[in-house]
Amino acid sequence: MTAPTALAHEAIYDTVEKLVNGSPRGRLLDVPAGEGALAVRLSDMGFDVSCCDLYPEIFRVDGIEIRSGNLDMRLPYDDATFDRVVCVEGLEHIENPSNAISEFSRILEPGGTLIVSVPNIMNIEERLKWLVSGYTSHFKPLSVEALAEIRRNYPNMEEIALHVNPIGYSEVRFLLEKYGFQLMGTHRDKPKANSWAFKPLVGLIRLINRFSSSSKRGSRWSHELNSDEVLLGGNTLIFEAKKI
């Protein structure tokens, strides 16, 4: 079988590896699994990996179970099946991220860990792109021309490439807490090479936020939204949360 191609940036996989390294090996679900590039890495680390994807026919790894599943619906697993769930670059492709987070909570054991990533639409570069153009790098207008190109490249599987849900830090954290998760940490795939150029503007944003009361900053997650991981982050924001 042909070696699987990574459908996400390798830097995201590297960060996921660092987050799970040193933790007890147990049952882990990779969803959406794509061709299986991340699953191979996690299996090689000693995890008992299962995979799920809307299009299981693209999976290219022997010896790892793959099931058909839709993140907008009930996943094909019993309650409390897994110790870990990893969802890399999935929530932005679906209509109902709330359902996905709810399902992750259902299929995780109490104390289990969820790692989920989304495009970082809140970093300073993307905020400026939104101001200038009205859209961000990862969520360009889905025009007739853009959709035609996606359908040419992914015939009958356009969901693989479609970014339909620009979900950011605040929305992901809200859903995690709503469905019984405690946020353990927020991480970036890698710093942007040109982030230094935006540091004066970042400093100004942080200074302006200091004029709000500490209670207001706390209730609105101002510190987190203006952290290095979010404001000076890379292309991807990666959340690590524990089911409580």
**Three-class SS state of 56:** helix
CA–CA separation, 137 and 117 (whole Å): 16
Neighbour-count burial for 186-216, b at 16+ CB within 10 Å, e otherwise = bbbbeebeebeebeeebeebeeeeeeeeeee
Rounded average pLDDT per 10-residue block, the chain, 244 residues: 84 96 95 97 98 97 97 98 97 97 98 98 94 95 96 95 95 98 95 87 94 94 94 94 97
Quote helix, strand, coil % in the chain, to nearest 5. 40, 20, 40
pLDDT for 7 equals 86
pLDDT for 1 equals 62
pLDDT for 144 equals 97
User: Can you list the domains of the chain with their CATH numbers?
Assistant: 10-243 (3.40.50.150)
Q: What H or E segment, with its residue span, contains residue 44? A: helix 37-44
pLDDT for 194 equals 84
On whether the CB atoms of residues 31 and 8 are closer than 8 A, the answer is no
This prediction has a pTM of 0.95
